[in-house]
Amino acid sequence: MAVTLDQTIAQKQHTFMSRLLGSQTFWVVIAVILACLFLSFATDAFATQKNLYNITRNITFVAIVALGMTFVIITGGIDLSVGSVLCLCSMVLAVTMHAGYGIEVGILATILTALVIGAFNGILIAYLGFPPFVVTLGMLSIARSLAMVASNNTVVFQFGPDHDKLLALGGGAWVFGIANPVLYMILLALITGFTLRWTKFGRHIFAIGGNEHAATLTGVPVKQIKVAVYMISALSAGIAGIIETGWLGAVTTNIGTGMELQVIAATVIGGANLAGGVGTAFGAIVGAALIEVIRNSLGLLGINAFWQGTFIGGAILLAVLFDRIRNFRRSD
C-alpha cells in the first residue's frame, strides 16, 4: 500500500496497444486487409488497376454520406432520408443545368436544397421534439417524391452548356490517376475528423450523444447543434449527389434507393454506436470500404449476387458482436 496518490494519478491506464486492440475500427481494418489479400491470391481480377480504381470510387458515395451520418449518429440521432435527399439533390442539379444554367448555379442550388432539407429535419427534431426516426422517415418519402415532381420522373442525361465540366468533376481523375470522388472523400474525411476531434462543436456533439440532459445543464447549445448535424448530414448527401451525377452522366429518380441502410451499416461497422456518443470519420470510411470489398469479392468469386445482403448483414452483426463482447469483459 505504499502507492502515493501522485503515482496513481501519473500511472497510464491505457497503452497505445491496448487502445488499438480494443477499437472496433482496428479490427474492421484488419478484416478489409485480409479480405483484399485473400482476393488478390484467389482471383486474377481483384488486384488489377481497373478493379481497384472501381472499388475505391464505389466506396466514396456511401462513405461521403456516412461521414455526414456520423455526426448525426454521435448525437444519438439517425437520418433515414439521406438516400432520397441524394436523389433530390442530383435531380435539382440535373434539372437546373438542363435548363441552361451553368455548373456553378447548379451546384449552388443543390447545396441550398440540401441545407434547407437538413434544417427542416433538424428544426422538427430539436425544437418540436419529433423523434428523428419519424421525421427522417417522412423526409425519405417527401424528398424522393419531390425529385419525381422536379423531373416529371424522366431520366436526365443532358446537362446544358456545362455538361462536360460536370462529367469531368465526377468522372475524371485529376491527380495521380486517383478517381476524383476518392479525392473528395479523403478531403471530406479529413475535415470531419478534424471537426470531431479539435473543435468545440465536435466536443459538444459527443457530449449530446453521451448525456443530452447534462449537455443542456452545462450550457451547451443543444438545439442549435442538433439542427446543424442534420444539415451536415443532408449536405453530405447533396455533395455525394453532385459527384455521383457527374460520374454516372445521368440521373434517374431511383438513384440512392435503399442507400440509407448501406450508409448506416457503414457507420455502425466502422464503430459508431447507434445509442450515441461514439463514432469516427475513419470508421465511416473503413465501414464503407468493408461493404464494398464484400460486394466486389462476391462478384469476382462468382457467388450469386443475391447473397450480397446476407454477407453485408452478417458483417453488421459481427461488428456489433465484437462490441458486445468487449463490453461484457469490461463489466466483469
Interface with other proteins (CB under 8 A): 5-6, 8-9, 11, 13, 197-200, 203, 206-207, 209-211, 213-215, 217-220, 277-278
As measured in angstroms, the least distance from the Cβ of 209 to other proteins is: 7
User: Would you say 219 or 258 has its CB closer to other proteins?
Assistant: 219
As measured in angstroms, the least distance from the Cβ of 201 to other proteins is: 10
User: What amino acid is encoded at 219 in this protein?
Assistant: G
Residues contacting residue 15 through CB under 8 Å, at least 6 positions apart: none
Which long-range CB contacts under 8 A does 273-277 form with residues at least 24 apart? 273/73, 273/323, 274/73, 274/78, 275/76, 275/209, 276/73, 276/74, 276/75, 276/76, 276/77, 276/208, 276/209, 276/210, 277/74, 277/76, 277/206, 277/209, 277/210
As measured in angstroms, the least distance from the Cβ of 139 to other proteins is: 28
User: Would you say 246 or 276 has its CB closer to other proteins?
Assistant: 276
As measured in angstroms, the least distance from the Cβ of 196 to other proteins is: 11
User: Would you say 25 or 121 has its CB closer to other proteins?
Assistant: 25
User: Would you say 199 or 224 has its CB closer to other proteins?
Assistant: 199
Distance (Å, whole) CA 136 – CA 179: 31
Are 245 and 109 in contact, with CB atoms under 8 Å apart?
no
As measured in angstroms, the least distance from the Cβ of 218 to other proteins is: 4
As measured in angstroms, the least distance from the Cβ of 210 to other proteins is: 3
User: What amino acid is encoded at 266 in this protein?
Assistant: A
User: Would you say 26 or 212 has its CB closer to other proteins?
Assistant: 212
User: Would you say 166 or 207 has its CB closer to other proteins?
Assistant: 207
User: Would you say 166 or 272 has its CB closer to other proteins?
Assistant: 272
Distance (Å, whole) CA 65 – CA 70: 9
As measured in angstroms, the least distance from the Cβ of 72 to other proteins is: 16
Q: Is the dihedral of CA 32, 240, 196, 232 positive or negative?
A: negative
Length of the chain: 332
As measured in angstroms, the least distance from the Cβ of 283 to other proteins is: 15
Secondary structure class of 4 (helix, strand, coil): coil
CA-based end-to-end distance of the chain: 24
In whole angstroms, what separates CA 129 from the centre of its chain? 25
Are 88 and 144 in contact, with CB atoms under 8 Å apart?
yes
Distance (Å, whole) CA 276 – CA 37: 34
User: What amino acid is encoded at 208 in this protein?
Assistant: I
User: Would you say 157 or 198 has its CB closer to other proteins?
Assistant: 198
